[in-house]
Amino acid sequence: MASSFLSFSLLFITVYTADGFMHYVETSCEFNTTKLEDIRFIQSYYYNKLEYTRFDSSVGKYVGFTEYGVKNADYWNNIPSQLAQAKARRETYCLNNVKIDHQAALTKS
């Protein structure tokens, strides 16, 4: 019994660690209307399924959730062009897509 449990545990550990580390960025727009002031742009940075930094247009700056994320947020918030570009994404990224998605949702209902 113990040997079968051990072999199952070793298989699980091998499968779990086989996927390695994963870094990804998730970008989303939250909205109720197509007006720009009602649109919220969020860009989250993840490492190993843990969010470490986020830009939220309603806050207007980067926020860190881990020690590494706080360092990134402080660095990015002190670069005026980086912060201005992130703030502008609400209009450039979200506004056109929200109009398309909102219109599609209205025609389907």
pLDDT tens-place string over residues 54-90: 999 999 999 999 999 999 999 999 999 999 999 999 8
Contact predicate 43/26, CB 8 Å: yes
Write out pLDDT tens, residues 11-54. 333 334 445 678 899 999 888 777 778 889 999 999 988 999 99
Q: What is the pLDDT of residue 34?
A: 75
Is 80 in a helix, a strand, or coil?
A: helix
CATH architecture of 20-108: Roll (3.10)
- Which single residue is written with the structure tokens 């219109």? 103
Hey, how many other C-beta atoms are within 10 angstroms of the C-beta on 94?
A: 23
pTM: predicted TM-score of the whole model, two decimal places: 0.72
Domains of the chain, residue spans? 20-108
Contact predicate 82/94, CB 8 Å: no
